[in-house]
Amino acid sequence: MLRRLMTALSMAFCLAVTALAANAQAPVRGSPRVEALLARMTIAEKIGQLVQMPGGRQKALNSRIDDNERARIRAGRVGSYLNVAGAEATRELQRIAVEDSRLHIPLLFGMDVIHGYRTIFPVPLAMAASWDPAVPERAARVAATEASAAGLHWTFSPMVDIARDPRWGRIVEGAGEDPYLGSVMAAAQVRGYQGVGLDRTDTIMATAKHFAAYGAAMGGRDYAGADISQRSLEEIYLPPFYAAAREGAGSFMAAFNEIGGVPAHANRALLRDTLRTRWRWPGVLVSDWNAVAELRNHGVAESEGDAAELALRAGVDIDMSSGAYADTLEARVRRDPQLLALLDEAARRVLMIKERLGLFDHPYERSDPANEAGAMLTPANRAAAREAAARSIVLLKNDGGLLPLAASAPRIALIGALAQDANSQLGSWRAQGHVEDVHPLLPALRAAMPHAEIETAGDEIPAAVAAARRADLVLLVVGEDFDMTGEARSRADLGLPGNRQAMADAVLDTGKPVVVLLMNGRPLAIHRLAERAPAILETWFLGVEAGPAIADVLTGRVNPAGRLPVSFPRASGAVPFPYARLPSGRPADADPAHDTTRYRDLPITPLFPFGHGLSYTNFTFSDFAVRPLPNGTFRASVIVCNDGARAGEEVVQLYAHDPVASVSRPIEELRGFRRIALAPGEAKRVSFTLSPAQFAIWDAGRWRIEPGEIQLMVGASSADLRGRAAFRIAGAGEGREPAAAIFTPSSEEPIR
């Protein structure tokens, strides 16, 4: 009886999800305005809408705008620009398009606004460490307000690539290794950028990129291919894209890489069958920079014309900067009516997006010089950046409660060249961020600890050691500078670069208490440092408010509660090492005498696991239980108590495991989390609502829900599990969405 009820309920759930997907169905035709326009356009004008030109370079915006470009706009041979910005500059270009071109079609202006436009927020990997979607959402909202005031309509963000190999430098741009966390963060950023609707002038269109599996690059080498199974693609790499599409992301960007020999820009199965047909996504798909022409380098096109045709057939609407569409498509379209239909479709999508952004009615509204200056780096924006930075910091180790700093440590040595490197705090994508805007650590520390004597030293070992000897406590800033992660910044050795490990060893040899402040955009292999240093704070690259945020955490004004969104390996040779591994026939055993899945020369655990992060207070978990609800869902709840003396925040993490299924399932997978605040002595009950579709398995084209037991684990990290429970899925069924992209509602209630 119960089983039948459960089956009926899970079917009801499936129907609800189907309804959601149907809402997102792509309209085949545009509005009467768009269709009328399309009917009047020449082939060249249609192609023009698909052409995106660089109006400048990333570090020299607008620098490529010249008479040739102005002529191109007048002739209707360009539909969008990237790397142009500024109310004045964009207004002038828009004026040419709207007043001087035959059909008066407005231009779109896009740019890489990744973690802030003028007010630079923490790098995306850091914001994911907040485990608080409100953080990246707010950052995206602030970025949209500033960027739109500078005339922009479109950002090439969020990057939602799952990255499990920290050798890949672009790991800094995403939300880490987990598809569930990645999906939550992806949706949050889309909401932030696009606000309540793209027709509002303080919004910009979001781009989910890089579609897809760019982060699975072989060996962690940027631009290398991904040789992954269809199941990994569907279950691990695609869910954040699905979440972004479901949230209404206006655009997607194809990835530079190939999967199993099929470059993304020629991947019809991915761009059309999955994105358009299965997901019914109606937005506009842009190529990555020059990637259409690069189809020749991949060895799948002989000429630029072949490359353009392949890309258009595969579903690439806009050609970013390669010129292949502009130079070669017209002749091909004239020869082939099928291509003309595809051209119409792509041009229609561009026009529809322009309409959705309100550009036909209000082409200049985002380009108002009177608004521009006042929108930038406002006190409210700075305050948001400071909060985001403080919430992104992760306390990795704190032996003996060395942190927060005791007022009785008046002589502090702040050691390491990175401590003075304000520029690095801006990260690898800094849009219009200025280094002078960064509030660095030293003055912030002086302001926070007016009675301390703070001496500084760089990376030279003798000076560092001398400073350490004179101090009561050392703050040792080590890691990577901003330019060691990001695009084309893959590294084979994840240890501290240069002499930094030697310098750290020399400072630690002085016997002084050392607090390590890590600066980095990727997990580092810092096994030796982690063994020796009593306290380690992960500070990433935190943006314009980096200094005050770090000082807040060091002094205890803020109790850290960030958690790692990606595992830290013990050695470079141990990557990728995600927590959500498949079980083995010979599971890893700590005893190397047994033949099990492990390295002989390393312990079987990561250095710091996914989800790890400490607090200045202590949390206990109790009463974890799960029960079925009448609507076919399951409610898991746990009581979390702050039994320390300070107020603090815990990230309650819910993991699941399917112990027996038709295929091996990961040993644990994140399926819910909630960051909660607790006063000393306070307890709260935290509840999560799960549905059977969240455990569906990708199986040859469908999401199969299998009956049987699901084990749940709750805890403070993927390796610090404090409670276990289980429930049963009664009947088989079919899910409609990627399992990891289905969000788990959660709630908290105080316990007396």
Q: Quote the least distance from Cβ 300 to ligand NOJ, whole Å.
A: 19
Q: Quote the least distance from Cβ 275 to ligand NOJ, whole Å.
A: 18
The set of residues, in sequence order, having a beta carbon less than 8 Å from that of 607 and lying 6+ positions away, is: 525, 526, 527, 530, 568, 569, 570
Q: Quote the least distance from Cβ 90 to ligand NOJ, whole Å.
A: 17
219: alpha, beta or left, given left = phi > 0 and alpha = psi -120 to 50?
A: left
Residues 218-257 that bind ligand NOJ (CB under 6 A): none
Tokens of 52: 């995106």
Give the nearer residue to ligand NOJ in terms of CB position, either 157 or 424. Answer: 157
Number of residues that bind ligand NOJ (CB under 6 A): 6
> Kindly report the CA angle at 494 between 613 and 417, in degrees rounded to 5?
80
Q: Quote the least distance from Cβ 289 to ligand NOJ, whole Å.
A: 4
- DSSP-assigned letters across all residues of 299-325: TS-SSHHHHHHHHHHHT--BEES--HH
Q: Quote the least distance from Cβ 150 to ligand NOJ, whole Å.
A: 16
Give the nearer residue to ligand NOJ in terms of CB position, either 255 or 730. Answer: 255
Query: With contact defined as beta carbons under 8 Å apart, do 751 and 665 qualify?
Result: no
Q: Quote the least distance from Cβ 182 to ligand NOJ, whole Å.
A: 16
Q: Quote the least distance from Cβ 79 to ligand NOJ, whole Å.
A: 16
Per the DSSP assignment, residues forming a β-bridge with 318 are 286
> Kindly report the CA angle at 191 between 189 and 197, in degrees rounded to 5?
140
Give the nearer residue to ligand NOJ in terms of CB position, either 211 or 610. Answer: 211
Give the nearer residue to ligand NOJ in terms of CB position, either 156 or 237. Answer: 156
Distance CA 536, CA 479 (A): 12
Residues 320-339 that bind ligand NOJ (CB under 6 A): none
Task: Select from 45, 69, 112, 372 the one that contacts ligand NOJ (CB under 6 A).
Answer: 112
Give the nearer residue to ligand NOJ in terms of CB position, either 180 or 289. Answer: 289
Give the nearer residue to ligand NOJ in terms of CB position, either 154 or 577. Answer: 154
Query: With contact defined as beta carbons under 8 Å apart, do 409 and 472 qualify?
Result: yes
Continuous H helices in 195-261: 230-232, 239-246
User: Per-residue x/- marks for ligand NOJ, 668-707, CB under 6 A?
Assistant: ----------------------------------------
> Which of the following is catalytic: 132, 161, 165, 288?
288
What's the per-residue H, E or C state across 571-586?
CHHHCCCCCCCCCCCC
Q: Which of 376, 385, 384, 392 is nearest to 545 (CA)?
A: 385
Task: Select from 209, 298, 391, 612 the one that contacts ligand NOJ (CB under 6 A).
Answer: 209
Task: Select from 327, 368, 472, 487 the one that contacts ligand NOJ (CB under 6 A).
Answer: 487
Q: Based on the residue annotation, tell me whether 288 is a catalytic residue of this protein.
A: yes
User: Per-residue x/- marks for ligand NOJ, 364-383, CB under 6 A?
Assistant: --------------------
Task: Select from 81, 117, 156, 237 the one that contacts ligand NOJ (CB under 6 A).
Answer: 156
Q: Quote the least distance from Cβ 265 to ligand NOJ, whole Å.
A: 12
- DSSP designation for 727: E
Continuous H helices in 510-578: 527-532, 546-555
Q: The dihedral of CA 180, 182, 183, 185: what is its sign?
A: positive
- 289 is a contact residue toward ligand NOJ (CB under 6 A): yes
Q: Quote the least distance from Cβ 84 to ligand NOJ, whole Å.
A: 12
User: Please, is 583 exposed, middle or buried when counting C-beta atoms within 10 Å of its C-beta (0-12, 13-18, 19+)?
Assistant: middle
Q: Which of 389, 397, 398 is nearest to 441 (CA)?
A: 389
Give the nearer residue to ligand NOJ in terms of CB position, either 110 or 735. Answer: 110
Residue in the shown chain whose Cβ atom is closest to ligand NOJ: 156
Residues 401-460 that bind ligand NOJ (CB under 6 A): none
Distance CA 543, CA 547 (A): 9
Q: Quote the least distance from Cβ 172 to ligand NOJ, whole Å.
A: 12
- DSSP-assigned letters across all residues of 581-614: PPP-SS---S-TTS--SS-TTS-SS-SB-TT--B
Q: Quote the least distance from Cβ 287 to ligand NOJ, whole Å.
A: 9
Task: Select from 247, 288, 317, 355 the one that contacts ligand NOJ (CB under 6 A).
Answer: 288
Give the nearer residue to ligand NOJ in terms of CB position, either 252 or 281. Answer: 252
User: HSE-up of 412 (CA within 13 Å, CB side)?
Assistant: 25
Q: Quote the least distance from Cβ 110 to ligand NOJ, whole Å.
A: 8
User: Per-residue x/- marks for ligand NOJ, 158-197, CB under 6 A?
Assistant: ----------------------------------------
Q: Which of 338, 372, 265 is nearest to 308 (CA)?
A: 265
Q: The dihedral of CA 418, 422, 426, 432: what is its sign?
A: negative
Give the nearer residue to ligand NOJ in terms of CB position, either 427 or 440. Answer: 427
Tokens of 622: 């109790």
- Give the rounded distance of the alpha carbon of 504 from its chain centre: 31
Residues 36-55 that bind ligand NOJ (CB under 6 A): none
Give the nearer residue to ligand NOJ in terms of CB position, either 288 or 459. Answer: 288
Give the nearer residue to ligand NOJ in terms of CB position, either 252 or 610. Answer: 252
Query: With contact defined as beta carbons under 8 Å apart, do 677 and 620 qualify?
Result: no
Number of Cβ within a 10 Å radius of residue 492? 10
Q: The dihedral of CA 262, 266, 272, 275: what is its sign?
A: positive
Integer angstrom CA distances of residue 543 from 111, 429, 445, 482: 19, 11, 16, 11
Give the nearer residue to ligand NOJ in terms of CB position, either 241 or 289. Answer: 289
Cis link prior to 158 (omega < 30° from 0)?
Answer: yes
The set of residues, in sequence order, having a beta carbon less than 8 Å from that of 548 and lying 6+ positions away, is: 386, 389, 439, 444, 447, 448
Residues noted as catalytic: 288
Site of interaction with ligand NOJ (CB under 6 A): 112, 156, 209, 288-289, 487
